[in-house]
Amino acid sequence: MTEILTDAWAKAWAEALNASASYRGVAASWEGAVLVTVRGDPGHGIEERAVFLDLWHGGCREARAARPGDLDAARYALTADASTWAGLLSGALDPMSAVMGGALDLTKGSVASLFPHLAAAKELVAVARLLETSLPPGWAAS
């Protein structure tokens, strides 16, 4: 199992996206990078971490742990606390409901520009749910 939002996890996510016919179909018009971040919570031993996905017409051209400058390069940035990410990956939370309810912050980009790609965004999360993922200690309880 690979810990969520690490370089290895991002690469596994990219491989799964590139192998997914359903993602390829619903994301055919998606262009642009996404930065996915968990907020740090020192009280629970959670360090901020993020991954960068370069998404292009139903494929993922690059996926890795985020680097300085990636926020500038991203079309969308999504940030949440660890328990929200755990809920998204377990299926307990729907990604768009989490954005609309404020649990998942769209810190870059707009809901209006994301709306045409709603099916692709949901499939991004659905594919991530298929990965053998582990959560660092404290994530589910934060």
Q: What is the pLDDT of residues 68-118, one digit of tens each?
A: 999 999 999 999 998 898 899 889 999 888 988 999 999 999 988 888 888
Whether the CB-CB separation of 57 and 23 falls below 8 Å is answered with no
On whether residue 140 sits in a domain, the answer given is no
Angle between helices 118-129 and 82-90 in degrees, nearest 10: 90
Compare 138 and 93 and report the one with higher pLDDT.
Answer: 93
Q: Identify whether 115 is part of a domain.
A: yes
The answer for residues whose C-beta is within 8 angstroms of residue 10's C-beta and 6 or more apart is 51, 52, 53, 63, 64, 65
CATH number, domain of 90, equals 3.30.1050.10
**Whole-model pTM over 0.75:** yes
Residue 42 within a domain:
yes
Contact between residue 93 and residue 81 where contact means Cβ atoms under 8 Å apart: no
Within a domain: residue 141? Answer: no
Q: Is the pLDDT of residue 66 over 90?
A: yes
Q: Is residue 142 part of a domain?
A: no
| Total domains, the chain | 1
Q: Which pLDDT score, from 0 to 100, does residue 140 have?
A: 62
Q: Tokens 């309880």 correspond to what residue?
A: 141
User: How many angstroms from the chain centroid is the CA of residue 125?
Assistant: 7
